[in-house]
Chain A
Amino acid sequence: MIDFVNSAHSVKSINPNIKAGFALSVITACVIFKEPLGCVFAMFVMWLIIIKNVVKNDGLSNHLIRHFMLFPILFIALSSFMVSFDITDCGEGIFSVKILDGYFLTVNSEGVKKAVRLFFTSAASLSSMCFLSLTTPVNDIVYVLKTIKCPKEITELFILIYRFIFIVLNMAQSIITAQNCRMAQRTFKTRINSMALMLSSVFVLSYNKSVFIYNAMLSRCYSGDISFLNVKYDSSKKYVLFAVLIVFIIVLISVLERVY
């Protein structure tokens, strides 16, 4: 689904190194400064780019937005809330409840501030990550890995794992559907048993499939090297300037927020 979305927008043609560099720089700036205003600006820019270029008015895009933004944001909110709690031996703070003999579950203003900062930092970093995921297909990530001189074995493993994920997922889903048709989810015991049987079948089938794929590759002169086609990307300076400008603004807002 991500591949489908990735193949149908204008940002796709931009050099993946620029996109990856931009996303990672924004994440780094947000994580280092942890200033809510800077993070809100980063989120705004990232989602503006995604909505303007990637999201179309169809069910697929809406599903992706839900999957990539709403659920993780909800999880971040709950996890950040968890950080605001503290266990102390003195019941001081905004709220304080005795939980054990001599111990209190407390929430103080410092904890709340920490949780708010964490929420915005995490949400902004996640938005940058979504930008990278939704604008850069995995094949382009391989291009980035090659640029940073990642060892050949790891790059090949990376691309092969990506190709095989869909084969294995398809097998697992077919088996689960077949099991559901036979009421395999009826009781807890049958659920456990069918899960184990499904895993073992998928494992053996994947192993056999890998042997077939290896034979197919051998018949096409595979000698240990997998060659990929080099695609020409748009590396205009305007994209680099845009990325530098956005990162500079995030840093500036964060510094000003910290000072004042």
Chain B
Amino acid sequence: MTKKEKKVFLLTAVLCLLFAVPQKAQAMHIMEGYIPPKDCILWFVLCIPFIVMGFISLKKITSRNKKALIILSMAGAFTFVLSSLKIPSVTGSSSHPTGVGFGAIIFGPWVMSIIGAIVLVFQALLLAHGGITTLGANTFSMAVAGPFVSYGVYKICRKLKAGKFISAALAAGLGDLFTYCVTSFQLSVAYPSPNGGIIMSMIKFLAIFALTQIPLAVIEGIITALALSAVEKISDLDFDNKGILNREA
């Protein structure tokens, strides 16, 4: 390759990669048929304990109070709508929140795993985002890893006497980032680099995701914190102890 050809190729590659940088809701989801069968099974199996625990938690809540099922259904619809809304992005493009932090702080991570899985089925069926074979992988990243990190970060921050705003912002932001890290890991396991293996492949996917996802995670963190404090102001709900479900129980 001549020097000029190299420059043209590099420019084209960068443009293509930027164009391929997922800036829409599909970005969080691994598309239908995108990962090999063994990976589909692996991520489905890894989700099972969380889904079972989520189901036990759901059964416990709904047996205590029938109203909780209606509230959780509304929470599921809210999560679906939240993940299909455009949020302001510094890159100028429209991007979508994951909504996992918001849900996990309010309802807890176990229930969110079930709600998240159902929401992902709807996203696959109604929006063509994600898929059925990749449901396990998507559930693991968006309905298990993200909510657990968000919930854990929120609890740790609150124990360290951090304010609710800072705790919620950190929880939502880090939960969002962790979701993308897990998605990158899933993609790198499915498509390891022939030379550098999983690690090199993960660096490639992380680098591509990082371009838009770091600013997005910051924005989602701020929006979640603002929204939670506004909810507290206009209602008498307290999120420190899964307020809504405990209050209704």
Chain A interface residues (CB < 8 Å from chain B):
2, 24, 27-28, 30-32, 34, 67-68, 71-72, 75-76, 78-79, 81-83, 85-90, 95-97, 105, 108, 110-111, 114, 118, 121-126, 128-130, 132-133, 138, 141, 151, 153-154, 156-158, 160-165, 167-169, 172, 188, 191-193, 195-197, 199-204, 206-207, 209-211, 213-214, 217, 222-224
Chain B interface residues (CB < 8 Å from chain A):
1, 6, 9-10, 13, 16-17, 19-20, 22, 24, 26, 31-34, 36-37, 40, 55, 58-59, 62, 66-67, 69-78, 80-82, 84-85, 87-88, 90, 102, 114-115, 118-119, 121-122, 124-126, 128, 131-133, 191, 193-196, 200, 203-204, 208, 219, 222-223, 226-228, 230-231, 234-235, 237, 244
Closest to B35 in A: A31
Question: CA separation between A90 and B195, bound complex, in Å?
Answer: 9
A156 & B228 in contact (Cβ 8 Å cutoff): no
19 extra A-B contacts, CB within 8 A, seeds A169-B77, A197-B227, A207-B237: A34-B36, A76-B31, A79-B31, A97-B13, A105-B10, A110-B194, A122-B32, A126-B128, A154-B114, A161-B80, A164-B74, A165-B81, A168-B77, A168-B78, A172-B85, A196-B226, A213-B70, A214-B71, A223-B66
Question: CA separation between A129 and B78, bound complex, in Å?
Answer: 24
Q: Mostly helix, strand, loop or mixed at chain B's interface?
A: helix
A209 & B32 in contact (Cβ 8 Å cutoff): no
A129 & B195 in contact (Cβ 8 Å cutoff): no
Question: Which of A110, A123, A124, A129 gathers the greatest number of chain B CB atoms within 10 Å?
Answer: A129
Closest to B129 in A: A72
Question: CA separation between A204 and B37, bound complex, in Å?
Answer: 42
A192 & B226 in contact (Cβ 8 Å cutoff): yes
A157 & B88 in contact (Cβ 8 Å cutoff): no
Contacts A27-B32, A157-B118, A165-B80; A195 near B87 (Cβ below 8 A): yes
Which of chain B's residues have a CB closer than 8 A to the CB of A207?
71, 74, 235, 237, 244
Question: CA separation between A88 and B76, bound complex, in Å?
Answer: 43
Contacts A87-B203, A204-B235, A222-B66; A133 near B126 (Cβ below 8 A): yes
Question: CA separation between A223 and B69, bound complex, in Å?
Answer: 12
Which of chain B's residues have a CB closer than 8 A to the CB of A86?
193-196, 200, 204
B128 & A130 in contact (Cβ 8 Å cutoff): yes
Which of chain A's residues have a CB closer than 8 A to the CB of B26?
72, 75
Closest to A27 in B: B133
B74 & A195 in contact (Cβ 8 Å cutoff): no
Q: Nearest-CB distance from B12 to chain A (Å)? A: 9
Which of chain B's residues have a CB closer than 8 A to the CB of A2?
126
A200 & B227 in contact (Cβ 8 Å cutoff): yes
B77 & A125 in contact (Cβ 8 Å cutoff): no
15 pairs of residues in contact across A and B, judged by CB atoms under 8 Å: A79-B31, A86-B204, A87-B203, A97-B6, A122-B33, A129-B131, A138-B122, A154-B58, A157-B118, A161-B119, A164-B73, A164-B77, A196-B223, A200-B228, A210-B67
Question: Which of A81, A86, A163 gathers the greatest number of chain B CB atoms within 10 Å?
Answer: A86
Contacts A75-B31, A110-B194, A160-B70; A199 near B58 (Cβ below 8 A): no
Question: CA separation between A164 and B194, bound complex, in Å?
Answer: 47
Contacts A157-B72, A165-B77; A188 near B88 (Cβ below 8 A): yes
